[in-house]
């Protein structure tokens, strides 16, 4: 099964999510409507709703609550991106101007707050208490991740465990919540719930690692963003951590000096990439990401083989550039 085939399996569910988002988010404040509509139409792939829908359908769910729960996840995710872009001073996301660059930081942060508030209302209206706890906890954990990452900016002593702690909170927790909610909607056994949580968790880690690798080694025409964004923002990610594990003292000092700077530039990126290429860091980092994706796929072994399970596997592999 291809990734396109996988997406087609839940095409109707995702279309309902899109319609729910447009209907649910409306407010009497015109500017909020304008900003939110811009964000929702700016090329998001709706990955988390897709994984929620596939998880639910794999478990036999026949109900109609996928759009509402997916919308809550998209609100939380989009609010996080809004606040991220403000903190980073980002001008573009997915090849489109960011909300903060178009409307200013004040409007962007308030629209992020609006999305969080909207998520709680929708969650209370449609979500069972258990689901409310899952998503509220996820939103809280993601906020913690933002603060931890901020505290660790430019910290050359960041360990792999520190990195996992950050990307768990920033990325993996919401993928895990999406997959778990799919199982909760279908009311499957706790061992299957645990399997779905683990699937989403390891998937989120592998996905973020792949994204961090592409930030240094990807083709900007494909990724939609300039190489070195994480470096320019002072974020130490997987490729840098793996590089520091391989380098000699002289090279470590060079990297340390780069991250000590208040601002980094393309020359710094070239120096760092040359060191990465010397030690084949792209391959080493990809191997690490693959290990987490394999853990993700192994989590699905408790489920009977069906098209939805095949779709989850195909999409997970596609997200890290592998073929099912």
62-80 pLDDT, tens per residue? 999 999 999 999 999 999 9
Using CB atoms within 10 Å of the CB of residue 42, give its burial: 0 to 12 exposed, 13 to 18 middle, 19+ buried: middle
For residue 283, pLDDT over 50 is answered with: yes
For residue 215, pLDDT over 70 is answered with: yes
Q: What is the pLDDT, as a whole number, of residue 42?
A: 78
Span 131-138, average pLDDT: 94
Look over the chain and give the mean of its residue pLDDT values, rounded to a whole number. 93
Both tokens of 255, joined, read 């990297």
Q: Cα(150)–Cα(145) distance, rounded to whole angstroms?
A: 8
Instruction: Write the DSSP assignment of 238-283 as a string of letters.
Output: HHHHHHHHH--HHHHHHHHHHHHSSS--HHHHHHHHHHHHHTTHHH
Span 38-44, average pLDDT: 81
Please tell me the CATH superfamily of domain 3-319, with its number.
Farnesyl Diphosphate Synthase (1.10.600.10)
Instruction: Please list the alpha-helical segments (H only) found in the chain.
Output: 3-9, 11-24, 30-40, 47-58, 66-88, 99-103, 105-126, 129-151, 160-167, 173-186, 190-217, 220-223, 229-232, 238-246, 249-260, 266-278, 281-298, 307-319
Other beta carbons less than 10 A from residue 206's beta carbon: 29
The DSSP letter of residue 91 is: -
Q: What is the pLDDT, as a whole number, of residue 132?
A: 92
Q: Cα(267)–Cα(271) distance, rounded to whole angstroms?
A: 6
């Amino acid at each position: 099964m291809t990734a396109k085939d996988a997406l087609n399996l839940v095409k109707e569910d995702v279309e309902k999510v899109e319609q729910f988002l447009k209907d649910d988010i409306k407010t009497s404040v015109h500017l909020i409507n304008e900003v939110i509509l811009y964000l929702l139409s700016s090329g998001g792939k709706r990955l988390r709703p897709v994984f929620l829908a596939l998880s639910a359908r794999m478990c036999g769910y026949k109900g109609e609550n996928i759009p509402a729960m997916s919308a809550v996840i998209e609100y939380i995710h989009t609010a996080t991106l809004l606040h991220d872009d403000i903190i980073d001073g980002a001008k573009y996301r997915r090849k489109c101007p960011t909300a903060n660059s178009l409307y200013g930081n004040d409007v962007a942060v308030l629209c992020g707050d609006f999305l969080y508030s909207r998520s709680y209302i929708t969650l209370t209206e449609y979500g069972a208490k258990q689901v409310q706890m899952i998503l509220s906890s996820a939103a809280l954990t993601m906020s913690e991740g933002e603060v931890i990452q901020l505290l660790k900016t430019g910290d050359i002593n960041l360990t792999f465990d520190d990195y996992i702690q950050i990307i768990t909170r920033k990325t993996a927790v919401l993928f895990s919540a999406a997959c778990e909610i799919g199982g909760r909607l279908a009311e499957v056994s706790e061992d299957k719930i645990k399997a779905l949580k683990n699937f989403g968790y390891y998937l989120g880690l592998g996905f973020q690692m792949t994204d961090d690798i592409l930030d240094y080694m990807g083709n900007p025409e494909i990724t939609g963003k300039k190489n070195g964004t994480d470096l320019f923002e002072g974020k130490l990610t997987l490729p840098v951590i793996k590089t520091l594990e391989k380098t000699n003292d002289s090279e470590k000092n060079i990297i340390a000096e780069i991250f000590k700077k208040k601002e980094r530039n393309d020359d710094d990126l070239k120096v760092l990439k040359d060191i990465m290429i010397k030690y084949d860091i792209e391959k080493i980092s990809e191997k690490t990401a693959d290990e987490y994706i394999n853990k993700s796929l192994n989590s699905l072994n408790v489920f009977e083989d069906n098209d939805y399970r095949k779709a989850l596997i195909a999409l997970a592999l596609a997200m890290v550039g592998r073929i099912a």
